[in-house]
C-alpha cells in the first residue's frame, strides 16, 4: 500500500519575505498630454462644421452663417439680409445641446426705413419625439419658467 502525502505551506502576513510588493507590480499611470479620443473626434468635427459654415457664409453672400463649438456643445446660426436703407431682416440663434435636447435663444432684428425693431423671443427647447412609430421633433416653449 502506497500513501502519498502532499504538504503545503501557508504564507503569513507577518513574513516580509513572503509578502508581495504591490508597488513593484503595478506601474504608475502614464502621463500623457494628448486629448482623449472623444475630445479629438469632437475637435475634428467642430473644425469640419466651421469649415462648411464659412463656405456657406461665402456662397450665400453673407445671408446665412453657421458656427460650431463642439467642446461646449454650442452652435450659432444666423440668417438675414438687407443692410440697405429700405428693409432689413436678421434672425440670430444660439443653440445649446444638453441631455438629448437643444435649448435655443432667438433674436430678431427688423428694420423698415429708419425704424429698427429688436425682438428677443423666449427660449425654446427641441427634443426628439416619436408618435405612433413616426419620428419627429417636439418643440417646447416655456411661457413660465421657475428656477430654484
70 vs 47: CA distance, rounded Å: 9
Residues in a beta bridge with 101: 98
Q: Would you write out the chain's pLDDT as a tens digit for each of its 148 residues?
A: 444 445 555 555 555 544 556 666 666 666 677 778 888 898 999 999 999 999 998 998 888 999 999 889 999 999 988 776 788 899 999 999 999 899 999 999 999 888 889 999 889 999 999 989 999 999 998 777 777 7
- pLDDT at position 38 is 85
CB of 61 closer than 8 Å to CB of 83: no
- pLDDT at position 13 is 53
Amino acid at each position: 500500500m502506497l500513501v502519498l502525502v502532499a504538504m503545503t505551506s501557508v504564507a503569513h502576513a507577518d513574513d516580509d519575505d513572503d509578502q508581495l510588493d504591490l508597488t513593484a507590480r503595478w506601474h504608475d499611470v502614464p502621463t500623457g498630454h494628448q486629448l482623449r479620443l472623444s475630445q479629438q473626434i469632437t475637435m475634428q468635427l467642430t473644425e469640419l462644421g466651421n469649415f462648411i459654415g464659412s463656405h456657406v457664409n461665402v456662397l450665400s453672400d453673407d445671408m446665412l452663417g453657421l458656427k460650431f463649438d463642439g467642446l461646449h456643445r454650442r452652435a450659432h446660426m444666423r440668417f438675414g439680409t438687407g443692410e440697405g436703407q429700405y428693409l432689413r431682416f436678421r434672425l440670430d440663434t444660439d443653440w445649446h445641446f444638453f441631455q438629448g435636447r437643444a435649448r435655443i435663444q432667438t433674436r430678431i432684428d427688423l428694420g423698415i426705413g429708419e425704424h429698427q425693431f429688436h425682438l428677443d423671443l423666449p427660449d425654446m427647447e427641441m427634443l426628439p419625439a416619436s408618435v405612433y412609430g413616426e419620428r419627429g421633433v417636439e418643440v417646447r416653449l416655456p411661457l413660465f419658467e421657475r428656477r430654484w
